[in-house]
Amino acid sequence: MSAETNKRPTNNNGYIWIVAAFVLLVFGGFVISEATPLLFPTQGSAESRQVDDLFKFMLVIGGAIFLLVQGLLVYSVIRFRAKPGDTSDGPPIHGNATLELVWTAIPSVIVLVLVIYSYNVWISNTAAKDNEQVVQGIGRRFAWSFTYEVPETAIPDDVSVSDLSPTVQTQLEAKNSFTITSNELHTYVGRPVKVLLNTEDNQHAFWIPAMRIKQDLLAGRTTEARFTPIEAGNYPIVCAELCGDGHGAMRAEIVVHPDEETYLAWFNDTANTVFYPPEDPVERGRQILASGAYPCSGCHTLSDLGWQGVTGPNLNGVGDRADSVRAAATGETPEEYLHRSIYFPSEYLVPGFGALMPQFQPDDPGAPNYMPIEDHIAIVAYLCTQTSTGESVCDLDNLNQIAGQ
């Protein structure tokens, strides 16, 4: 036995030290648990308070254990270091039943308490609430879109159903309602939200840090995320599942309006774009792309719409290129080239880019990459105007003919 071993506390004085160390460790854990959440984003939802309280509770325990382990490590390095010239072995210590019982029992109790606490938080946060606002959230490589139901009764008297787009008419026939789309998730303070999540390709994860919710999107299954906003403002929505090379750009925004009135003002404005679509196909195409109805923003850059994707070719000035280098490379007119680039994207690949773009198709409204012909024509008409002069490089009559309208 070395001199060190004999000096270990074995009397009442030792227990006082243990109690003092325990109090100090818990205090340290408490400081860590109070300081860390200062780095967190706004508590944007009712649920975020419960989640943060649970997290703080875990930090008190984790912080105390961290300080205990690091403290013992530093203490041992100093206290039990070998004297210069001492090359002897340390004392041979074998099992200690009391110690092993203690370090098994304490973590078991901690884990049990955490299981019960977090289960209660989870049950409370995922429970159905009264009067939920239901939004469909769609994740696609590499953009988010959100759709809202508009009942047939909301159609103004001066709008005739037969004047609405064929897509809207088909929806009305099927379910007496139609959907409007936004690339932002709009909600308002105090109204519980239920987001029904679907992916049209691989797995994504819907994460709103300010709301403290994160939910995976699984192919072939609808998953749900629930929260009740309590703080007006705009907060980021992030994809938290590596879903391809545009994953980092797969972001959107949630807009929490201060009250129902301002929310409805946005909702009615958006519905009006369906009720009173612009006559000009170029305007219409811009509106469709800006709405996020198609996931183009995740892959393409287009300054006019604030897109910053880099996985696909840059669309700034795409009209000029369709008219010059692409026309030369494909032998197609600009309108034909842009038309085929959307319905047959792999036919001609812009140098430096792979065949990653989904093939949009005009026939089956149930298909994941359905793009009805009237949307398609408007989008091509708009892209034709992405030129240095802002003038269209396309012949729209020819476009209608090519697209079979």
Contacting positions for ligand CUA (CB under 6 A)? 139, 142, 204, 239, 241-243, 247, 250
Residue whose pair of structure tokens reads 């309280």 in the numeric block: 53
Q: 241 or 253: whose CB is closer to ligand CUA?
A: 241
CB of 198 to ligand CUA, least distance (A): 13
CB of 61 to ligand CUA, least distance (A): 32
CB of 204 to ligand CUA, least distance (A): 3
CB atoms within 10 A of CB 197: 22
Pairing mode, strands 193-199 and 223-227: antiparallel
CB of 293 to ligand CUA, least distance (A): 18
Q: Hey, what are 140's tokens?
A: 């696609």
Q: 250 or 282: whose CB is closer to ligand CUA?
A: 250
Q: Which residues pair with 355 in a beta bridge?
A: none
CB of 312 to ligand CUA, least distance (A): 15
Helix pair 12-35, 46-79: axis angle to 10 deg:
140
Q: 239 or 381: whose CB is closer to ligand CUA?
A: 239
For 297-303, the CB contacts below 8 A with 24+ separation are 297/143, 297/183, 298/140, 298/141, 298/142, 298/143, 298/246, 298/249, 298/250, 299/141, 299/142, 299/143, 299/246, 299/249, 299/356, 299/357, 302/386
* Burial classification of residue 124, based on how many CB atoms lie within 10 Å of its CB (0-12 exposed, 13-18 middle, 19 or more buried): exposed
CB of 387 to ligand CUA, least distance (A): 32
Q: 247 or 339: whose CB is closer to ligand CUA?
A: 247
CB of 224 to ligand CUA, least distance (A): 18
Q: 204 or 339: whose CB is closer to ligand CUA?
A: 204
Helix pair 97-126, 46-79: axis angle to 10 deg:
160
Nearest alpha carbon to residue 309 among 371, 379, 244: 244
Q: Which amino acid is at 89?
A: D
Q: 239 or 315: whose CB is closer to ligand CUA?
A: 239
CB of 244 to ligand CUA, least distance (A): 7
The DSSP call for residue 361 is B
Q: 129 or 214: whose CB is closer to ligand CUA?
A: 214
Peptide bond into 142 cis (omega under 30): yes
CB of 124 to ligand CUA, least distance (A): 28
The DSSP call for residue 127 is S
Q: 202 or 301: whose CB is closer to ligand CUA?
A: 202
Q: 217 or 302: whose CB is closer to ligand CUA?
A: 217
Please spell the DSSP secondary structure of 281-327, one letter per residue: HHHHHHHHHHTTSSGGGGT-EEGGGTEE--SS---TTHHHHHHTHHH
CA distances from 391 to 102, 320, 323, 327, 388 (A): 79, 10, 12, 17, 8
CB of 251 to ligand CUA, least distance (A): 9
Is 17 in contact with 95 (CB distance < 8 Å)?
Answer: no
Residue whose pair of structure tokens reads 């009740």 in the numeric block: 228
Q: Hey, what are 179's tokens?
A: 């959907």
Q: 231 or 241: whose CB is closer to ligand CUA?
A: 241
